[in-house]
Amino acid sequence: MPGPLLAERPTLPGLALLVVDVQPSFAVPDAIVDGIRALSRTLHTVATIERHDESVTPFERQLGWKPAPDDESLVAADHIFVKHGYLPPIELIDHLRARETERVYVCGIQADTCCLAAGFMLFDAGLRPTLLQWLSVGSSLDRSADLGARLWQHHFGSVLRSPHELNLSK
C-alpha cells in the first residue's frame, strides 16, 4: 500500500489536488504537510510517491542518489500513484479525466522538477495545472520554490502564491 487513503467526503466538482512526492525520503516541512492535509479535506486528492527501481529510472547510477523503494505518502489521498521517475504515470491522467477534472492544483516536492514535470503532463492532457507555491518546496537549487514558480508562470500562466488567492470554484 503506497499510503493512507481518504474516506469518502463531498468534494468540489471539476477540481482536484495533486500532491507530488510528499514522502519520508524528502525533507518536507511540517507546515507544508499540515497545509496540504487541510486542503485535501475539500478537494478530490491524488498523490504521487517516488519509489526507487534502478531498472526503470537510473537515479543512483546517473545522479548518485535514490529515493527509498518503499516510501509511503505523508498525506492521505483518494488515490495514490507510484512513479519511478520525474513524470507521474499515465494512469493519473486517466483517473482525472474519468472524474471530468478541469483544473488541477499542484503542490509538493521539487516545484522546479517533479511538480513541473507533472504540470507539463497535465497541460498536454488538456487540464489546467496551477501551482500552489506556499504548499511546495523547490529542489536543492532553490528550496523556496521561487524558481519553480517562475517556470510554472512562464509555461502554464498559473501560480498561486498564498492561500488567500485560492478560489475553490472553477
pLDDT digits (tens, 9 = 90+) for 27-65: 899 999 999 999 999 999 999 999 988 888 877 888 887
Mean pLDDT of the chain: 92
pTM of the model: 0.93
Q: How confident is the model at residue 1 (pLDDT cuts 50, 70, 90)?
A: low
pLDDT, one tens digit per residue, over 72-89 is 999 999 999 999 999 999
- Rounded-to-integer distance, Cα 28 and Cα 19, Å: 12
Overall fold of domain 15-165: Rossmann fold (3.40.50)
| Strand ranges inside 15-137, DSSP E | 15-20, 44-50, 79-83, 103-109, 128-137
